């Protein structure tokens, strides 16, 4: 059977392509933009890509067209598909009907941390011989791929709240019929398709309604949006983890201080501020010590959600903790891209103020007083619309210098005071020119974007390698200026 996938270079659709090939389907695909790591994965699968404005492959009369949610009416290939009466479906629907229908589905939903948490679950199950299938939104370092089909009864899926396709405006995750479901967090995002947080909560409510009574919902101990979702109706047991900011100001500690007796099921006590060494507790019982390579409170919270999920399928928590100690994070999640002339350059997928702040806090705990230069590319649809612009400055307080990449095509501006170490630039060329004279040994450059960012990571590392770095500190104290025209 021949499947043609529209929008195949997205992380989700690229994963669908891999699963389809492993099930024995012939797969072709088309897309406009491709970049690593997904383009490398598709190339390794032997899939030839064409531009999605070119409808030649549909002329080969595929048995079914799988439509990615980035394509809309008016697109040449969509109009050709409809006019020629092609059979078509969405990626989530195909996944449900061809892969998930007879699996124990472990789904990870939430605004942040879906890919990392799902990858942790996959790694634990793999380490302990469960051989899980999976589809996540990134290439996992432990596996080198984003999707895999196995004969295991367990399948781990990243459960995205974005809409399914131009003909199906439900969130993707309602198709998956999860039995074990992590609701990691919930904030406003995807302003291009959701009017407000309430609209997203409505989709999460639909997800909760589909989880069986012999399943499990795993959620933070205190998150107002998720609690509102649960209050609308829940027929499934719940386990909670303590979404701690630090050991003294977590929601649990605040409630205890106020005389309440509420206790999260999963708790953590950090032995190091960067959360790289922690004690794990379940039902107030000490389970074990987690010492690992990841940093940040957001990652230890992801770990607790993962521990709860694998316990539900039968894994002993102490065994899961030992497996997590060997976990390697997903590509583009605080990934060290290179170290040249004493300067570290990191790549991170953060593109929402909460994720930006969490990532910077984790790096600050790791590097201490060393300088952090944050380069933020607010390119998601929500950020391009300026919906979170008022939160951006607060999100970068742990950086010593911040550069925001804001092209002139954006419909909003960020106001910067003269004494703030913040710059606004509209080109990668301008960013690199500034960094050439600013960087010094022992600096940490954190680049945050959910796109390719015009290859800035490799270009910066090449620039550093070729230049002798100034050893003197030169912290920017001038106001932001648009001085980097292309």
> What is the rounded CA–CA span in Å between residue 366 and residue 398?
12
**pLDDT category, 199, cuts 50, 70, 90?**
very high
> What is the rounded CA–CA span in Å between residue 145 and residue 113?
18
Taking only the tens place, the pLDDT of each residue in 156-178 is 999 988 899 999 999 999 999 99
How many C-beta atoms lie closer than 10 Å to residue 313's C-beta? 19
**pLDDT category, 36, cuts 50, 70, 90?**
low
**pLDDT category, 468, cuts 50, 70, 90?**
low
Highest mean pLDDT among 126-140, 223-237, 257-271, 293-307: 223-237
Half-sphere exposure of 89 (CA within 13 A, CB side): 14
436: exposed, middle or buried (Cβ count in 10 Å: 0-12, 13-18, 19+): middle
Query: Does 58 score more than 50 pLDDT?
Result: yes
3-state secondary structure of 299: helix
Q: Work out the angle at residue 127's Cα, subtended by the Cα atoms of residues 111 and 319, and round it to the nearest 5 degrees.
A: 85
Query: Does 273 score more than 90 pLDDT?
Result: no
* Residue of 179, 93, 173, 100 whose CA lies nearest to 134: 100
Q: Is the pLDDT higher at 36 or at 471?
A: 36
What are the two backbone dihedrals, phi and then psi, of residue 7, each rounded to the nearest 5 degrees? 80, 35
**pLDDT category, 480, cuts 50, 70, 90?**
very low
What's residue 296's pLDDT?
80
Partnered with residue 11 across adjacent β-strands are none
What's residue 387's pLDDT?
62
Distances (CA, A) of 385 to 51, 166, 402, 474: 26, 21, 20, 33
74: exposed, middle or buried (Cβ count in 10 Å: 0-12, 13-18, 19+): exposed
| % of the chain at pLDDT higher than 90 | 38
Weakest-pLDDT range from 61-75, 114-128, 354-368, 457-471: 457-471
Query: Does 102 score more than 80 pLDDT?
Result: yes
Contact criterion met (CB below 8 Å) for 405 and 376: yes
Contacts of 353 (CB under 8 A, 6+ apart): 388, 391, 392, 394, 395
355-373 burial: b if 16+ Cβ within 10 Å, else e: bbbbbbbbbbbbbeeebbb
Q: What is the mean pLDDT of the chain?
A: 82
What's residue 471's pLDDT?
41
Q: Work out the angle at residue 381's Cα, subtended by the Cα atoms of residues 376 and 387, and round it to the nearest 5 degrees.
A: 75
What's residue 206's pLDDT?
95
Distances (CA, A) of 267 to 19, 143, 157, 202, 289: 36, 29, 25, 29, 12
Residue 71 DSSP one-character state: -
What are the structural domains of the chain?
2-90 (3.40.50.720), 102-324 (3.40.1190.10), 335-466 (3.90.190.20)
Tokens 């292309």 locate to 486
């Amino acid at each position: 059977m021949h499947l043609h996938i529209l929008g195949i270079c997205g992380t989700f659709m690229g994963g669908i392509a891999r699963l389809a090939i492993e099930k024995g389907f012939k797969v072709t695909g088309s897309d406009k933009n491709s970049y690593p790591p997904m383009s490398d994965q598709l190339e390794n699968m032997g899939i030839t890509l064409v531009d999605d404005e070119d409808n030649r492959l549909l002329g080969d009369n595929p048995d079914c067209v799988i439509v990615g949610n980035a394509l809309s009416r008016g697109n040449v290939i969509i109009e050709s598909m409809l006019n020629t009466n092609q059979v078509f479906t969405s990626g989530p629907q195909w996944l449900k009907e061809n892969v998930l229908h007879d699996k124990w589905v472990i789904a990870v939903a939430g605004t942040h941390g879906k890919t990392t948490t799902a990858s942790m679950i996959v790694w634990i199950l793999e380490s302990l011989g469960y051989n899980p299938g999976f589809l996540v939104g990134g290439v996992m370092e432990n596996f080198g791929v984003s999707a895999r089909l196995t004969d295991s009864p367990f399948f781990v899926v990243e459960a995205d709240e974005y809409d399914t396709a131009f003909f199906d405006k439900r969130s993707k995750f309602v198709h998956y019929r999860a039995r074990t479901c992590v609701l990691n967090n919930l904030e406003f995002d995807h302003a291009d398709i959701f009017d407000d947080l309430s609209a997203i909560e409505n989709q999460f409510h639909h997800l909760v309604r589909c989880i069986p009574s012999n399943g499990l919902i795993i959620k933070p101990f205190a998150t107002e949006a998720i609690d509102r979702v649960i209050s609308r109706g829940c027929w499934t047991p719940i386990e909670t983890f303590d979404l701690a900011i630090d050991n003294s100001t977590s929601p649990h500690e605040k409630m205890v201080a106020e005389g309440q007796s509420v206790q999260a099921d999963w708790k953590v006590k950090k032995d190091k501020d960067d959360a790289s060494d922690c004690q794990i507790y379940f039902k107030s019982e000490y389970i074990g010590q987690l010492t690992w390579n990841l940093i940040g409170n957001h990652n230890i919270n992801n770990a607790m959600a993962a521990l709860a999920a694998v316990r539900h399928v039968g894994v002993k928590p102490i065994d899961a903790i030992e497996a997590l100690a060997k976990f390697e994070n997903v590509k583009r999640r605080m990934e060290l891209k290179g170290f040249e002339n004493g300067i570290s350059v990191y790549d991170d997928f953060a593109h929402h103020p909460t994720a930006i702040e969490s990532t910077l806090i984790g790096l600050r705990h790791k590097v201490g007083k060393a300088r952090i230069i944050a380069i933020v590319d607010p390119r998601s649809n929500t950020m391009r619309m300026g919906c979170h612009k008022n939160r951006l400055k607060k999100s970068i307080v742990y950086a010593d210098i911040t550069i925001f990449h804001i092209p002139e095509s954006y419909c909003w501006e960020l106001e910067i005071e003269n004494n703030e170490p913040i710059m606004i630039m509209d080109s990668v060329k301008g960013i690199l020119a500034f960094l050439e004279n600013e960087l010094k040994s022992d600096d940490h450059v954190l680049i945050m974007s959910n796109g390719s960012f015009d290859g800035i990571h490799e270009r910066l590392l090449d620039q550093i390698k070729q230049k002798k770095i100034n050893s003197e500190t030169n912290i920017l104290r001038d106001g932001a200026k648009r001085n980097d025209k292309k």
